[in-house]
Amino acid sequence: MIASRFQYYRPETLDEACQLYMRLQEAKKMPLYYGGGTEILTRARESAIRPDAVLDIKHIPECRRLEMAEDTIVFGAAVTLDEICRTNYWPLLSDAAGRVADHTTRCKITLGGHLAGTIPYREASLPFMIFARDAKITVQGPAGPRRIPLVQVYDGQLHLGSAEFVVDLSVPRSVRDYRGASVKTTRIDWVDYPLFTVTMVRDSSGVRAAFSGVLADPFTSASIDKILSGKADLSQRARESVAQMNPIIDDLHGSSAYRRFRLTTVISQLLQEIGE
């Protein structure tokens, strides 16, 4: 049971949601945009957060877009990870999103909530981070919607202004052409918080990778991509790239030494899998 009280609103347009958020803020309330709500509800149950209102954005059509057009794929912020996997418009994203939580919970977790939440892994963001220069994000704010390069507001953490929320993410359809793979590792059980997740792609310019569960936030690195794209044997490339990562997380899910060991193995395997 959630002991605290909050109000529930179901806006139907982008403006309605944003205006309501600002009105609640002006009234000294703490509103939260609400997608799948999995993190909000679990944290509210623990009284770790005490919102005054939740604004359910799942009934805003723009947030529910899931479309593959001639040159672009659009993923609405209120689309669930299960819907992303089921439509499979971008197999690499399906791979990464399909390992978040468990099947039933993925029917509730939304892409926007996954990126905006406080759980640091955000595995489904890794394919977008690899293609960050090409990926776009639409953000709704007080001045209306703006479509900008993802890198302007996402670096493993989402940086939005007051009253802003994510409407959608989009990538060129050409991302489907690249050979890629994503691997999530856990300490013991299949369904668990990740030890780490690695997503890797190979294109004409070389290898690009994104990592989660290694440092504090998901990240990409040009210097690691350069090592991974080199000519050394696969295990040496893996060792050298892991040596670039510092400080590696050391927690109950796994020590930094254990993560380093597993990372070296998984990176070698992924390099092989994408045809290096």
Query: Which lies closer to another protein via its Cβ, residue 65 or residue 86?
Result: 86
Contacting positions for another protein (CB under 8 A): 1-2, 4-12, 16, 20, 36-38, 41-42, 44-45, 53-54, 56, 58-59, 82, 101-105, 107-108, 190-191
Please report how close the Cβ of residue 72 comes to another protein at its closest, in angstroms: 27
Nearer Cβ to another protein (2/160): 2
Q: Which of 119, 262, 268 is nearest to 195 (CA)?
A: 262
The contacts of residue 195 (CB under 8 Å, 6+ apart) are: 185, 186, 187, 213, 253, 254, 258, 259, 262
Longest Cα pair distance anywhere in the chain, in angstroms?
61
Report, in Å, the least distance between residue 164 CB and another protein.
19
Q: CA nearest 137: which of 126, 127, 146, 124?
A: 146
Q: What DSSP line would sit under 150-200, residue for residue?
A: GGGTBSSSB---TT-EEEEEEEEGGGGGSEEEEEEE-SSSSSSS-SEEEEE
Measured from the CB of residue 64, what is the shortest distance to another protein in angstroms?
14
* Shortest spacing between CB 200 and another protein, in angstroms: 23
Could you tell me the smallest distance in angstroms from the CB atom of residue 160 to another protein?
22
Question: Which tokens is 51 given?
Answer: 């919102």
Q: Which helix (H) or strand (E) holds 228?
A: helix 222-228
Q: Give 24 or 126: the residue with its C-beta nearer to another protein.
A: 24
For residues 35 and 39, give the distance between their C-alpha atoms in angstroms, rounded to a whole number.
Answer: 10
Of 98, 120, 95, whose CA–CA distance to 199 is shortest?
95
Which one, 10 or 260, has the nearer CB to another protein? 10
Closest to another protein by CB, 16 or 155: 16
| Interacting residues of 249 by C-beta distance below 8 A, sequence separation 6+ | 213, 214, 215, 216, 256, 259
**Complex with another protein: residue 187 or 260, whichever CB lies closer:** 187
Minimal distance, residue 130 CB to another protein, in Å: 25
